[in-house]
């Protein structure tokens, strides 16, 4: 909200009429600072995502101190100026602010907006949400897809909240069948895992990330163990809270204050509950598929930890693992018979289709060198060479 508001004030030329306050700590409220701002305000607009937390609490603070403050008009979600649902955008804040301040803003005639829309239409290709190039989750869900197909019993994978939530989409080969609250995937897998007592042999699987495991999955895992449920929990351990800003979690070597801390290993927690626990590298796609299939043939609670560092973290620390290239003499394009498996199905952003040549190629600017595409290419046209250290 802060950056959008800053941009809106600049575009509307309201810098001399509108002040901007960014709250660093929303609770407890910095009451003294807020009261000093309110003492010089006649109208206050709240621009915040999701629930009107600041709006409600600042208005309550004002009510307690209104005898020594001027009359203030509060605007935001409660007043209907800011929508209750949907996400914020610079355009939305501009629209709201221009209406309140009676500042002229002809969005349809604005040359900047017209130029931006025209440029986007001409140069930005349409692409659905996708895992990052080299994301280990893409390899994990590829292996899950293969293992479930090999098992043949129509196993169901319950999803959860994290980067891997995208597995409900084609980037995760649409493997996750549910997406609810954090920790719900394990809870649902635990419940479905007792249906064998009614004659069902459909495998029940749950997927979660390392951060979600610590935050919300452990109670559901304990419940599943306590009820002797048949399930396979797949923990995608990329050693990062990547979706929300790489905050540390209990498996990190530092705590929230940035001080050294003892990591609590996922495997130690699972084994302490008496759960069979296997650890593997998802970039070994064939090996992961085999391990998954073998675990699907077993009964009781099982945990598979697929451990590979987040591509964004790995890229900063280590650089590329492999130099990846496409041999144009071996790439048969549309004639391969694989229906362009690399660019149509696997769909890593580091792979692109050269329409004029009729062949796949590597986008060097995006490829992180994970090498997984070389392992899945049926023609062996994609090749990888180990980077020298």
The pLDDT, as a whole number, for residue 107 is 54
For residue 253, the 8-state DSSP code is: S
Domain 320-386 class, CATH top level: alpha beta
For residue 138, cis peptide bond before it (omega within 30 degrees of 0):
no
Q: Fold identical between 2-123 and 136-314?
A: yes
In degrees and rounded to multiples of 5, residue 273 shows phi and psi of: -90, 0
Dump pLDDT digits (tens) for 324-372: 999 999 999 998 888 899 999 999 999 999 999 999 999 999 999 999 9
CATH assignment of 2-123, among 3.10.20, 3.30.360, 3.40.50, 3.30.70? 3.40.50
Pairwise CA distance, residues 29 & 283, whole Å: 46
Please say whether the beta carbons of 240 and 311 come within 8 A.
Answer: no
Tokens of 382: 């994609």
Dump pLDDT digits (tens) for 34-63: 999 999 999 999 999 889 999 999 999 999
Q: Which residue has the higher pLDDT, 319 or 266?
A: 266
Dump pLDDT digits (tens) for 144-178: 999 999 999 999 999 999 999 999 999 999 999 99
Tokens of 381: 């046209």
DSSP reduced 3-state for 10 = helix
Pairwise CA distance, residues 153 & 304, whole Å: 19
Tokens of 344: 């149509």
Contacts with 8 (C-beta within 8 Å, 6 or more apart), sequence order:
90, 93, 94, 97
Going from N- to C-terminal start, the domains of the chain cover: 2-123, 136-314, 320-386
Q: Mean pLDDT across the stretch 61-67?
A: 95
Does the pLDDT value for residue 20 go beyond 90?
yes
For residue 256, cis peptide bond before it (omega within 30 degrees of 0):
no
The pLDDT, as a whole number, for residue 106 is 59
Identify the CATH homologous superfamily for domain 136-314: Thiamin diphosphate (ThDP)-binding fold, Pyr/PP domains (3.40.50.970)
- Comparing CA positions, the residue from 177, 223, 227 lying closest to residue 204 is 177
Q: Which residue has the higher pLDDT, 95 or 387?
A: 95
Q: Which residue has the higher pLDDT, 262 or 127?
A: 262
Task: Give CA angle at 30 (25, 32), nearest 5°.
Answer: 165
Dump pLDDT digits (tens) for 98-121: 999 988 775 555 676 678 778 888
Counting residues of the chain whose pLDDT is more than 70, the rounded percentage is: 97
Task: Annotate 48-84 with b (16+ C-beta within 10 A) or e (fewer).
Answer: beeebebbebbbebbeeeeeebeebebbbbeeebbee
The pLDDT, as a whole number, for residue 110 is 60
């Amino acid at each position: 909200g802060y950056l959008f508001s800053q941009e809106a004030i600049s575009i509307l030329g309201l810098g001399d009429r509108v002040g901007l306050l960014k709250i660093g700590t929303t609770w407890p409220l910095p009451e003294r600072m807020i009261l000093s701002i309110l003492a010089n305000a006649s109208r206050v607009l709240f621009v915040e995502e999701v629930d009107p937390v600041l709006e409600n609490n600042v208005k309550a603070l004002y009510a307690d101190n209104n005898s020594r403050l001027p009359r203030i008009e509060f605007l935001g979600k409660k007043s209907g100026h800011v929508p209750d649902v949907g996400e914020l955008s610079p355009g939305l804040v501009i629209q709201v602010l221009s209406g309140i301040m009676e500042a002229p803003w002809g969005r349809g005639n604005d040359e900047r907006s017209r130029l931006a829309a025209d440029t986007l239409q001409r140069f930005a290709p349409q692409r659905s949400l996708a895992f990052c190039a080299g994301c280990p989750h893409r390899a994990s869900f590829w292996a899950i897809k293969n293992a479930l197909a090999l098992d043949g019993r129509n196993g169901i994978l319950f999803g959860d909240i994290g980067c891997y939530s995208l597995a409900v989409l084609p980037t995760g080969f649409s493997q996750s069948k549910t997406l609810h609250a954090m920790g719900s995937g394990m809870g649902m897998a635990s419940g479905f895992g007792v249906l064998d007592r009614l004659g069902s042999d459909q495998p029940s699987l749950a997927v979660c990330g390392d951060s979600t495991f610590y935050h919300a999955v452990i109670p559901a895992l304990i419940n599943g163990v306590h009820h002797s449920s048949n399930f396979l929990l797949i923990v995608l351990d990329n050693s990062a809270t990547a979706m929300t800003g790489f905050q540390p979690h209990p498996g990190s070597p530092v705590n929230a204050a940035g001080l050294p801390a003892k990591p609590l290993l996922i495997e130690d927690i699972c084994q302490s509950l008496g759960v069979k626990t296997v650890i593997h590298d998802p970039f070994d796609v064939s090996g992961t598929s085999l391990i998954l299939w073998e675990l699907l043939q077993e009964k009781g609670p099982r945990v598979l930890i697929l451990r590979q560092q987040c591509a964004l973290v790995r890229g900063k620390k280590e650089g590329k693992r492999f130099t990846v290239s496409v041999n144009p003499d071996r790439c048969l394009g549309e004639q391969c018979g694989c229906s362009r498996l690399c660019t149509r199905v696997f769909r890593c952003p580091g792979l692109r289709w050269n329409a004029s040549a009729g062949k796949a190629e590597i986008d060097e600017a995006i490829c992180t060198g994970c090498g997984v595409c070389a392992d899945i290419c049926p023609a062996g046209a994609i090749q990888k060479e180990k980077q020298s250290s």
